[in-house]
Structure formats: C-alpha cells, structure tokens
Structure 1
Amino acid sequence: MFQSRFSVIVICISLLLFTLSLGFAFTRLSFAGQILEAWAEYDEVTVKPGDAVVFNIYLYTNKSDVCYLSAESLPEGWIAKFYYQNMEISSIRLIENKTAPIKMAILTSSDTSPGEYIVYFVAESFYFYVMLPLTVKVRSLMRQLSISAVNPYLVKEAGETLTYRLTVTNAGEMNESLLLRASYPAGWSCRFLLQDESIGGLHVKADSSQQITAKFIPEESVKEGNFSFTVTIFSEDYAVNASITLYATILPKSIKRDIEILATTPYLLSKSGETIKYRFTLTNVGDADESLSLRIIAPGGWRVRLFTPQGESILWLYLRAGRSQDIIAELTPLDKQWAGSTSFTMSVSSNDGVINESITFYADILLRERSIKITPLYSEIAVEQGQPFSISVTITNDGELDEQLTLNADLPEGWNGTFKTLSDSALRINNIYLASGGSKIIVFEAAPTHLPSLGEHVFTIKVSSVDGLVSSFCDIKVNILRSTQPALSCQLPLKVIQPGGLVSFQVKLTNPTLLDQTFKILIGSLPSGWKGYVKTAEGEKVSLINVAKGSSVMLRIEVSVPNNASDGVYDIILLAESSEISESIMLRIEVQSPLVEIGLKAIPPYLDVYSGSKAKFKIQVSNTGGRDELLNITSLGLPEEFKVKFEDSGGNEITAIYVEAGATKEFFVVVSVPTEVGLGSRKFAVSVFNADVEEGADLTLNVLGLYKIAITNTNFYTTLNVGGEGTFTLNVKNTGSMEVTNVRVLSTSIPEGFTINISPESISSLKVNQEGSFTITIRSEPNVNAGNYYIDFNFLSDQTEKTYFTLRVEVFQTMNWLLYAGIGIVIALAFLVIIYRKFGRR
C-alpha cells in the first residue's frame, strides 16, 4: 500500500513540475479518472513592505475529496492563511463537480527588501499534490514631506516675538527622523518648540503630522518693516525635504489699527435647497497693513465658502492700510428640504488678536413646491396571447426641486415587468434622477411567465420620491388576443439560382400551443429532375421533429436544380402536420441563367516613351458576370513597325486570359517603339473577347526624342617609341533618335612629357545612326621612360552628358643605338683581321 501511494505521489509531482514549467496561474492534474484543478483570479500583485495580499483561488474536482492547504517558498517573516466563507481553514472538503472559492491571505514583513517574490499555493489530497505559482512584487516605500503654517503672515509691533504654528506632515510610507533649519534676516534669532520644549529635530511616523512652534525673536535694533523667514525640514539622509516661507510686518509702537465691515445686502430671501450669496466690503481704516483671518459662523447643516469676486477661495487676507477688499460668502444648505429663518455671522480678526470685528446677516428660506407626473404613450394596447409587450412612459418633474425617483409596478398574476432606458434596452433601472422642470422617457416591458388568459389585464405603473412625499401613477389596460403566430415562417421565401445550383431556405417551425408537438415535414411535388431535402440547422436530414410548447426550431430546406432547368419562377410547397396543427408555406425559386459581363480598364491609359525603347501598359480585366470567361487579347491602331505583345504579371507572353466570375485580373501590353519613328502621340486600342462578349480600352502612346551617342571601339590601346609619336582612332555613333551637334573629345589628364592633339576638334553634327571618328595623336619627349601610361578623355555633345574613357599608351625604347654599336663592332673586327694577315705572328 505504501509503495503504491508513493508511486502515485511521484507521478503527481512529475506532472506538477511539468505544469509549473508552463508558467500559467492554472494547474490541472488527473489520475484514474479523477481531475483536480486549481486556478487564481489573478496571479500577480504589487504591495509595499508590511502590506497584506489576498489571492482569490478556486479548486475544482470531479470526485469528492479532502485537500490540505499550505504555502511554500514564503520569504522570511511572511505569514500565509487560508479562508473559506470568512472562516480560517487548513483543509477543505471538495464536493463533486463544484468549485470551491478560497482566499489565500499573505502578510508580508515590514523589513522585506523590494523585489519580485514567487510563492506557491499547495493543495494536497491522497492522490494529488497541486502547486499554483503566485507572484508578489514588493515596491519601495514612498517618501514625501510637507510643512504648512496656520497663518504664514503676522503683524506685530516692534520688539514683539513672532510665533508661527507649523504643521510638519509625513505623507510617505515610512517613519522619518527630521532635522529643523531656519534662515532669517540679521538681528533675529529662532527657536523651535514642541510642547514648550526646545528641539532641533523630531520624529514623525508615516502618514501622520506633528504640530511645532517656530519663534523668531528680534533684537532691540530691529525696527519696523516687512520681513521674511524660511523654515526647512530634512530627513536624516537628506533624501527628502520641504520648506515654507513665513512673512511678518513690524509696526512702530502706538499705531492706529481698525477694520470696517459693510454688507451690501444683509437680508436675503431664498427657496429651500438654493445657495445664497452675500457680498461684503472690508476696509482697513487703520495706519498699518493687516493680516486678517476670515470666518463664517453658521448654524449646523450649512456648507460655507468664502471667495473673492474673481472666484479664488480665501480664508485670510493681507489688507494694506487705507485699502478695501470685496468678499463673497456662499452658503449652501445640506438639507434641500429645510425652510425657515436663520442668521449667519462673519468674523474678521488680526493674527495678534488686536482687531476682532464681526457682522450678522439674515435669510428667510421658503419651502419649494414638489410635483411629479407619469404619462404613458398609450393607455390601452392589444397583445397576442403569450407575447411580451413594451410601452414608453414619460415622467415629468413639475416641481421646484430636483428629485431622486423610485419606479415600481403592480402586475397581474403571471407577469414579470422591468423598466429600461430608451437608449439602451439592455440596461435595467429601478430609479432615476430628474431635475426640476425636466422630463425623461423610459420603457416599461412586461412578459408573461405562463400563457395568460384572454381578455383585459390592468398594469399600474408607479413613480415616487425616495422620501415618499410625492408620487404619481398610471394604469395601462392590455387586451390579450388569441395568438396568430404561424407554425411555418421564412424570412426570405424567394431565392434566385442558376441552372445546376443548390438553393437553401431557412424556415422557422414554431409551436404556438401549450403542448409539445411532433411535426411531420413534407416537401410537395417538385418539377422533373429536381430534388428536395428537409434538414436541421446542423445539416441532419429529418422528416419528424419534436417542438416544445411555445418554442421554435430552425430548418434548412435544400432544393437542387438540374442543369437543363429553364429560366422562370417555380413554386415549392412545404407542409408541417401534427395532431393539432396543419400548415403550409410557399417557397419560390427563380431560375436565371448567368449574365455575361466584363470590364476593361487601363492604369494608366497614357504613357511617355523614348523612341527605340518599350512602353508597358497595365490592364485590368473585371468579370462582373455570373460565369468564368476565357478571353482572347488583341490590339488595333499601331503601325506595323511597332511591335506589340501581351504579358502576364510574371512576364510570360500570353495571347489570352482566364478570369473567374466576380474576379479581377491584370495583364500588360508591351509596345516596342522603333528608333526611326516620328515623335508625337499615337492612339490605339486593346480589346479582350470571346464568342459571347467583347470589351476594349483606348490607349495613348507618346513617343519622345532620345539623344544618345556611343563609342564603338572595343579596344582602347596604342603604342609609340620614346621621343616618338603614335595615333589612336576613336569611332563614335549616334545611337539615339535625334540629331546631335558639336560632338567633341577632350583630354582631362595628360602625363608629364606627353602632348595630345585631337583632330578634328569637333564634328558639327551626327544624324541618327551616323558614324564619325576622331584621330588622337600622342607625342612623347626623349626623356620619357618606357612603360604604360593612361590618358583620360571626355566624350560629349551639346545634347548629351559627358562620357568618360581611358586610353592606354605603351611606350618602347628606340633601337638606333644598337644599330650604331653593331656597325662599330664589325669595323673593329675587320681592322683586326687585316692587321693579322699583314703582320702575322710577329
């Protein structure tokens, strides 16, 4: 038994490793017919250190079994727990063919390093050991600091200490130890206080704030004026910081300070739910600039906002001496239904408490009228028995308040009803928001849950406010009529087909009764040679078919038409019979021989071409008829010296083209233009045809003149002796289609010790195919070394570009000194012979 289980576990682990190598958040194992599947709704999350992670995991098996749950590869300090229906579990019993949702909660450690960690969900039963890889990405902690002041502007008399209430906020995700620094003008000193204790730094936990006090103490030498101070906070590692600038106005002692407040309209009349606005003018009638705090004292249930005439929100104001500022107070009731009399107070005070002025203003709030109305498009309708219906209703808000409305309906027994929007029939609604004076059209739909009785049924549609204080209703009378639903119906009862084709009709067979029916399906008599079949939508032949009550099935009626069928319209009768129903439907088949129709188009129909070259026209052939066509190709209108041929897209020469019905193909008309042909445009035509159809396209070929001259020499080489002279004849020809003039040869590089002469200097003209020649004379000086030399030339005319060629010149040493030396040697030998004969050996 142990060996058997061990073998099973080995097999399961092997399958598990293979599955994990696929890299999906889905694992499925099977053994002896049992299947165990595990998958996660998502397999990757990103968190910060110390956060909890929850994975939604699903287990499924086709046989009931108990699985033990665990987690593997958890980093140090991480804890994993499993929950089923909010209860912590360590194992779960899986029910056959049911999916069990499990939550795997992982608590990460606060000191986990940033990175990507893969942990495994493990479900183990007697036969299976399933592992599901899950990825937890741990990001770095965010760090962010800010510093703010309750009032960054102060007004004090000379010699007074400036006290600022500061809030240091750690908006990051880690605790911070902070250093405090201040910069200030000469003659001032600074102290930071935390609960009356002097500090140089502080510790602020993540996502929390700390209140501190900054005091700036002036020396006796500091006089009146405007001053600014900067407070900066740093983290211990200087990675993050924040700063704030504080301002103060120092006044001379015993100066007049006063503020006046004037309300434009201290009393307003409004309706419930409306926002009311008061306008005030603040005037600094004192001798010093003031930093003022603004506050509205309002009863509970009001939202207050202060702003300038330019729309900027304002809670404090710096007002220079002798200046005024308009302030608007906006008050909005939170309870849209509240009515009555109320009062508000606006308070204005200086930062040091010397100035403290206020003004009271009043409002009477009247209750708004409320009225809603519902109106159906029709109050009475008729519906066939068993059929649903829908009707539009208009809801109008004639009151002075916007309303949140609830929709419901009182329905006869055996009916379900829903409300939907007019724009989206799939969106069901139970309540709507309707502004004052507005209206909205909704759709009420009702469907029977079983076959309703014949006669009149009353449906009551109601609409009411969410507080139930206003409502409206309407009645819709629905007259239920006997069903006229046909048993057989065909959306397309007429089909057009060619001889030899197969036509198919989609026929709907409906059972409008309250009992299941078995129908016998028959096709009436067909013309000779025709064949008909009754098939299901899937293509299976049938003659009997069961249809449940109130339902329908789709049938496919196929009729094959012989090749010799004559054109015309043929009627086919389809019969459906059951114990209670007998019905027929007429299907019509129109036989039409295929049309013969082609189109020919040149892209483009006009080409420019040089004489002596080729033009290639692209032609499109479209077969818009009903059968394939083999078309011959020909051209007309060009003189015989123009050679015309036809090519397919692969460059193969063709004389005909095959085009399937409904297809488009291309071929090319290639025209070879003679060199001697006259210039100008020539019109010609190309056509495709067979015994049944012919179509042509007009083409235009514009012949352009070509200026071209060529060197006909095949060897550019000559020789000469040192100090001697050599010649080379250059042969040229006009190979273009236009006369060229002023044909000449120019040397571009001459080696040292050589002179060049070209004769003639130029040829005044060369006609088409005419040849000419130049004689190039090369002379060398006596001190030139024997060897090979290369001379570059240009060959051009007034109409053509330069043509470059290089002449190779081989220079030989002269033979005169050998001749003189030989003669001297002969004379010397003859003189020796004469002396020998005359004197002998004496």
Structure 2
Amino acid sequence: MKKKAFIIVFLFLLSNYPLINAQPWVTVFEDRVKIGETIIVGDYKIDVTLEKNEMKPYAIIYEDEEIKKVVGQGNLTEIGNMRIVLGSYNAENEDVFVALQYKPSLTKEISPKNGASFEVGDYALKVIESGNESVLLSINGDEVEVKAKSVRVYDKLALEYTEEVLKVYLANIQVKREERKDYELYYPFKGLKVKTRDEVQIPITVHNNGNEELKLQLRVLSKPFGWEVKFLDESGRYEVDEIALNPKSSSTLTLFIKIPENAKGTKEIRFAVGEEIGEITIDVVRDEVVDIAIPLLNVESEAGQNITFPITLRDRGEEKVVKLEVTEKPASWDAYFLMGNQRVRSFLLEGEQEITLFVKIPRNAELGEHRIKFSVNGIEKNVSIFVYKTYKGEPAKVSVTVKDEEGNFVKKAKIIIGNKTAFTDSYGKANMELKPGEYKVLIEKEGYETVEEDVTLEDGEEKTLEITLTKLPYYFELEGSGDTVAVTAGSIGSYTMSIKNLGKEEDSYLLSTFDVPEGWSAEFYYAESPMRKIKINPGESKEVTLRIVPPFNAQPGEYNLTIAVDSSSGLEKRINLVVKLIGEYKFEMYPETPMVNIKAGKEGIAYLSLENTGTAPITNIKFEVSAPQGWDVKVTPQVIPELRSLYFEEGGVRGISGSENRLTVTIKVPETTPAGTYQITITGKGDQAQASTQITVRVTQSSNTAYIGILVLVLTFGAVIWMMRRVGRR
C-alpha cells in the first residue's frame, strides 16, 4: 500500500516539470487531510470523504455548490486551472495524502539583463547573471537558476527560459482548509436489480458524532430522466428535504425510487445528505417485444421552430402492428409521427423502421422545459424541449408588396389591416406592426380592383405578403399643381393639371369650369392651343393648362372656381380651385400749388393731394415732415385710415377718391428767418406702401425791417471811411 502511494505521489511531482513550451503547473498544496475535511482553492471546494463499504477515500469537487467531479484514489484529475491526486490512506488516523497543482498565469515576459530587477506579486526578482544556457536570479534573497529550455518552480512562481526570453508565471491563488464535518452516512447496499414499474425503498442512516445539533439538507443530485426519486421519513409517509440531529444521535431516512415502465439498462442515482454524497446503481430488467431507440431526449430551441426526434423501432423476430400515440403535450403545441413525409398512427413493423416525432413549437411558448409524452404499443416514452427564447407578447411584423398584372410595383396603394392603415412606397412595399391574431387584409388603389385576403399572425412573426392588383377597364387620375393659384390684377394666371388614363381602354375627357366670377375669363389649353376635349391612350398622361384672366378692376382677394373633367366612360373628377388675386399697392402725393409765399414771422397754408394709383386700398397712412429748424409745420388730417384705388366701382359706376384724399399743411415761419427759398418734405407711410413730395416756401421780409437794414448799412459804411482817414494821417 505504501509503495503504491509513493509511486502515485512521485508521478504527481514529476508533473511539476512539463515538457518545453507546455503550460507549467505549480504545486499549491500537499499534505495529509483528514476524512471529512474541506480544501478551498479559489472558486473550488474539495470535500475529502470515505466510501464506507470498501473503505476507499475519494474527493468531491464543487464549484458554486454544484458537483463538478468525483476523484478516486490514485487518479490524477484535471478540472479548470487545477489538478488533484489522492495518495495513500491511513485507516488508523483516517487521513489521506492530497496534492494540488494550479496552472499559473503568465505575468511577465522579459529579456533578462544583468542587474535588472522587477516584482511579481509578493516576489522581488533580480537578474544576477544571464547567458545562453541559463539565467541566475535572486528571488526574495534566494538564488534560483533557470536553465534554457526548461521550467523552474519556486514557491508559487514558475519560470521558463527559452530563446533568451524569461517568462514568469504566478499562481495567484489562496488555499484554505476547513475541519471535517462531525456526521456519517450509512446505507446497506449500493446495487439493486429491479423490474420496470417496481418501487424501491432504501433505508439511509445518518449519525451525528459531534457535540452540537446538526441541520442537514437532503438533495437528489442526479437521476435517470423520467424516474421518481425522493426522500421520505422513516415511516415512508412524508416527503422530507431537511433533517435535524441532536448531538450523538442518529436518524433513519427512506430513499424512495419508482422505476418507470420504459426504463431499461443500468442506471445510477446520486444523492446528498448535507455534504455527504451517496450513490446507488440500479439494473433494470425488462421484456420488450419492440426495441425503441431514441437518440435525442432533450433539446434546446427557440419558440416558433419545428423540432424532429428520430426514433428507431426493431421487432424481436416477428411482425408486429405498432400503434403510436402522443399522450401529452403542452397546450397549443402540435406533435405527431411521420414516416417519410406521411403522418402515421399505426403501421406493420417488420425488422427495423425509422420514424420521426415531429413537434411544432408555437412562437408564444413559455420559457423553460416542456415535455412531450407518447406511447409505442402502450410503452410510455417521453422527450423534452427546453425553450430558451420566446416571442410571447411581441408584435408581429407584416411586409406587403403590391404589383400589377404586368409585375410593376404599385405605389400609394392603401393597405388596411385591422385598425391600421399604410401606403406602399415607390417599390410597392409597406411595413406594419400588429398584435398577434387573425386579420382581413384590404388592398385598395384607385384604378384597380379591391383585393381582400385573410392572414393569421403569431407572436413576433415576420410575414411577407405579395398582392397582385388588376386594373379597371376605365379609370383616370386627375392631379393638379395644388389647390390655389396666384394671379396679379391685370395679368394672366396659369394652373397646370395632369390627366392620366389608368384604365385598360382608350378614353376621351371633357373639360369645363364652374362658378367662374363675373367678368373673369377661364380657358383650357393643350400644347398652346385652346381646347375643351382631349383623348388619351391607356397608360398615358397629358398636361392641360387653365389660363385665368381677371378684369382690370377686380378687387384683391380669394375667388373660388371648380374644374370638372368628365370621361366618355361616365367617370368624373373635380378640382376646387382657390384663385388668390393679388393687388398692386401704390399711391402718389403732390402739392396743389408748386410754391407758397410766406412772410417771416407769419403763417401760411398749402394743400396736398393723395391718389391711389394701384389696384388695392392702402390703409393707415401717417405723415412725417422734414422742415428747416425752428419752423412749425402741421399736417391735417394726421392719419388717413384708408385710401381707396382710383378705379374702384360701386353700383357699376367707376369713381375716384374724394375730399378725404386732400391734406392741409399749415406752415409757420420764424420772424428771424432770412428771405429766401426753402424746401419742406412730407412723407406718407401706409401699411402697404409709402410716398413723398416737397413744398417750396419763399420767405419775404416786412417793410420796417427793410428800413432798419438800410440804416445799418449806412452806419457801417460811415464807420469804415472814418477809420481809413485816421489811419492814413498816422
């Protein structure tokens, strides 16, 4: 026994020196471990336990409370970044030698130079000497030589020197050790031979060897698909999932196992009481007339897919009538049997036959596992499908493509599905989103026969519909260049419209106008020629122009008229047109007297006339005055609310503006103003236009003022002569 253990450990330690270019391993734990103790390495937990019947140690490796592997004595087992081996077992001390290695990660890669130093984790490294054959390092004060093309392990470091490159690996992992549990698990047998539909009850005894109360969970870790396995109390009446044990006491449980009718072969059941693992092997003996082979038992799929389970049936040397029946399936799922492409419920089996269980998953299937049960000649079987993606509650998407009989895309076709409406684009396509359900699809387009179809939409479904529309024998489309046209008074307005024959036959069209304002002219032209009727071939279109001429005295505003197009086949189209007549806003101001004479210090009056020379009224005219400084100029009235056109008509009589178009300008000249000619500018500003004019004012002096001026001149000349004589004597 000791020799065998030594060889195992020796082989394990040899694995510390892998071949060149292989991933190195670092030993992170090696010691004797008591049965029941636990070693924790990173995310892994290793429970060391003992098989009670054969007294052999083994280790159970957990990751996140899930059993990943069970390691027996003498086996080198690798899991993730760790490997483990169990060596010799000492029955007297109840301990086993355990060695653990961890795959370190590459932390540093350098070309070593003498004297270079660096740190890796808690290790300080310094290059003492490097060469082609080896590199000598100081690690935390210890000299370590790494030979070329080899790996050297130092504590949790692995060092590899290849082609003058030093690679440093670090096993940065913590190892903890927990004491063993103070309880034991006993059950009388590990192997059973049973028949189908048998019920087996296995007593399991749990001893609490400790000095404290224990609460242990009961779990079934693994069982054959379709088998019923559960824990019952000692009486076998109640199902339990946890037990409580007083110190130094025992409790007996019952492991209940029900063998299904379709069971066969050797099966294993694994269970756990607390952290103690138990295992039972059951050999099922059965006598079947038909062998049933189902290679696929559980598959994964997203909702909306079709799944097939191949089934092979073999007889036992004689012909048999095989009856097939799907006995259970999820609601709204569809499942049936196929032989080739034919649905079958029974057939004559001779030798071997392949059949298929076809399962259609609805798109609104619930997430999770779903079971389909079926029977072959009364032998119950089942398979399951795990739905990992569903479209439940998602809207369905419908893509509709509309074409005509010649395969051309039909644009602006109206698509009505439920309470939603869409129109096709230039490629005849329209996309819509709707809730799952059954709908009527209505497709309408002027000039085509209406099409109606039924459609069923499932959750999240993407469905494509192709619709063909048939043209009507007679139909035309009338399109205008808008519903308004602007015309300036006294000019000609143009409105263009297109007539397109969408029918299958040639047709002619009569054009006319209604509600044309009195005095207006409205005529149709095609190719610069007046016309009233036009003939158009199928599929062709022609442009017609309506020329509108308002009378010269028409007032600005909006006028309505109607364009009518009637086909010889009895169809008619109308355009209600609004004609916006735009007026000309313009007025003039001029003085009635070109010049006004005013004496200095006096007041004078001038008159201005205003005339609206446009075609539309001008409103809210106010006046601004520009005059010499100190002059007082007033305009009366200060505001003219409306200045009507010279050409307005009332009662059929043309008139002009009256007194309201005359302005009175009062001008007061200061007394000190020298005689002369002066200009006054008056500007009228309305809401729509403005105009300006000038008044010339000639200022004259009074007679007294003239005499005073002459006297001043005489005195001035006298003073000059006296000064000249006096200066001359000197």
TM-score (norm 1): 0.30
RCO comparison, higher one (Cα < 8 Å, 6+): 2
The TM-score with structure 2 as length reference comes to: 0.33
